[in-house]
Structure 1
């Protein structure tokens, strides 16, 4: 099942829906008012029983004809956890780009984790505000993102996938010159609108093995990234174990797992984004996340 957060045209309140096979939004609350808890983390916190209720509702829910998609989780419980240099080929291209700030290890020995604030989150179709980067180094990073279901601290790798509610797509938009200037990455990656997310959350029961998923990114129709999630240096269970070791994960927390090779700085000369460029990211089963640079 692909769950979405949406609003009615001309309104501001969040509603929980599901996408049918044609990509139309189904109004779950119209079929079962108990499903609409006001926001996605609340529904996720309802556990397996609430997920099953949503699935039953989706089978009979009407189409919400005036639905406007929002990000699946517009305001997660915490900043979005993001992982840097987590594909072998991207780690190499980043090290050779001159933007890595003099890091000694091409392939990191442990996960490199930073965060993006919720104010960076935008929905599929909303504009990336490129003018917020005054340095002219705007870049894209297509990524698989993990949505936490059952929370916890000290989650073992062997148990980690039991704590996954589902998967979505994130574009880890980056101002490369700011990223390099400040060393710590949040000021280069956490700008407003620099975290497009969506269009939906594909529930974990549809993904027996996240390593089997494949990610592609196109810019203005040109394929730039194409890689299986199996190429991750640190896989999804390893990331959950590492982050939860001393940080409690909560229902609705998001972990963006890193980007493969093919980002703008990987080209010579770099192919930075410009006004009017369209970034389209697709991951098996989840759908397409597409945003234009404004």
Structure 2
């Protein structure tokens, strides 16, 4: 299934994309309305959703609803650094002995079609096309051979990076967490539809220029190893997002630098999942106090 969080007439809820339409989860009152609550409800909610998709016609035309990030506000958004051999080579750094994770703050998350802001404080805005997965079961100390059981599904991520702010701190957190710096989408493809997440073509375009072209088989640490490593330290919960690293071709390593510019569109396509597209706009320059 292609699970989505969508907005229609100002109301957000979970649905499933089928053909060119969206099946509305709220046609079954027993299905929770938010993605995190839906995933937390476990296998029973997933079974009800599958039955609904099989029996109901799409309630909305896909083009008539607004897709937001599949998990609009994840409890945790963790991303791994230096996880593709070719990206390690272009950075000139050593292959890591252990997985190295950083946090992207959940306020950075946006969906397919939403705008990425060019920060007022920097013009060193960069893209990183990545496969991301979403945790479906609360878990701790998960062995590698059972890690597939706790992954609800896979989506496309853009680990947008403000490179000068990233370089100022060894944790990289601020440079990875600017508002609008976490595009996810367009949907969450359930794990049963991805035969092997470690053999998917991944490509990133800036406008019509192909910048990244690789395959997830080139990861140093695979998705299941990431789950096992992280769950040694922390409880992973439904809706947590884990992004799996980027291949070579990032703007900061191009000559001359290939930083993003206002008006450019980043398009990331992952085989079997879909395409995530976001256009860069100038950040609104007014101060905002809510």
TM-score, scaled to structure 1: 0.91
Q: Are residues 1:64 and 2:60 paired? A: yes
Residue among 155, 159, 164 paired with 2:151: 164
Deviation at 1:135, TM superposition (A): 2.6
Q: State the Cα distance separating 1:241 from its structure 2 match.
A: 0.7
Alpha carbons 2:18, 2:58 under 8 Å: kept: no
Aligned counterparts, 1:75-224, within 5 A: 75-78=73-76, 80-95=77-92, 105-132=93-120, 134-224=121-211
SS at match of 2:119: helix
* Secondary structure class of the residue paired with 2:152: strand
Q: Secondary structure at the match of 1:29?
A: helix
Q: Could you tell me which residue of structure 1 aligns to residue 286 of structure 2?
A: none
Deviation, 1:33, is 2.3
1:76-113 Cα distance to aligned partner (Å, 9 max, x none):
122x0100110000011123xxxxxxxxx521111110
Within 2, Cα distance between the matches of 1:52 and 1:208? 20
Residue 44 (structure 1) aligns with: 39
Structure 1 runs not aligned, ≥5 long: 96-104
Q: CA deviation at 1:238?
A: 0.7
Q: How many residues align?
A: 278
Q: Is the 8 A contact 2:3 2:14 kept in 1?
A: yes
> In the alignment, is residue 235 of structure 1 matched against residue 232 of structure 2?
no
- Tell me the secondary structure at the aligned position of residue 129 of structure 1: strand
The counterpart of 2:261, out of the listed 268, 274, 293, is 274
Kindly indicate whether the alpha-carbon contact (under 8 Å) linking 2:26 and 2:33 is maintained by their aligned counterparts in 1.
Answer: no
1:7 Cα deviation (Å)? 1.0
For residues 250 and 191 of structure 2, what CA distance do their matches in structure 1 show?
28
For the Cα contact (< 8 Å) 1:28–1:61, is it kept in 2? no
Q: Is the 8 A contact 2:25 2:33 kept in 1?
A: no
5+ residue gaps, structure 2: 282-290
> What CA distance in whole angstroms lies between the structure 2 residues aligned with 1:205 and 1:19?
16
C-alpha separation between the residues in 1 aligned to 2:201 and 2:240?
A: 22
Say whether 1:19 aligns with 2:6: no
Deviations 1:9-31 (A, max 9, x none): 4x1x3211111133x3222322x
3-state DSSP of counterpart to 1:227: strand
